[in-house]
Amino acid sequence: MAGNVQEFTAANFDEAVLKSGTPVLVDFWAVWCGPCRQVAPVVEALAAKWGATVKVGKVNVDDHPSIAEKYNIMSIPTLMLFKDGVVVERVIGFASQAALEQKFQQHVA
């Protein structure tokens, strides 16, 4: 993971994401997923830009299938924005940084 991007696991997901006092952007991904590799630099750029106001991290769906199942992840990459432990936005597939910023801006300002 890049410096500003955390790894969320079954062990830390509840504390790091659901109980977070700040919005959390979660990238559900897998090593073998081409579009996931495409969106990774976008996620890293958002983490660098929003570092002080939004927590950003990734969940490897192969390593943590219980989390993916809980949030009905059927296709990856899926990016979900959590606020106060609730999913407020979901983007499935590759999206540009500008598109993601526009989609999430109302929740991260």
Catalytic residues: 33, 36
Q: What is the 3-state secondary structure (H, E, C) of the chain?
A: CCCCEEECCCCCHHHHHHCCCCCEEEEEECCCCHHHHHHHHHHHHHHHHHCCCCEEEEEECCCCHHHHHHCCCCCCCEEEEEECCEEEEEEECCCCHHHHHHHHHHHHC
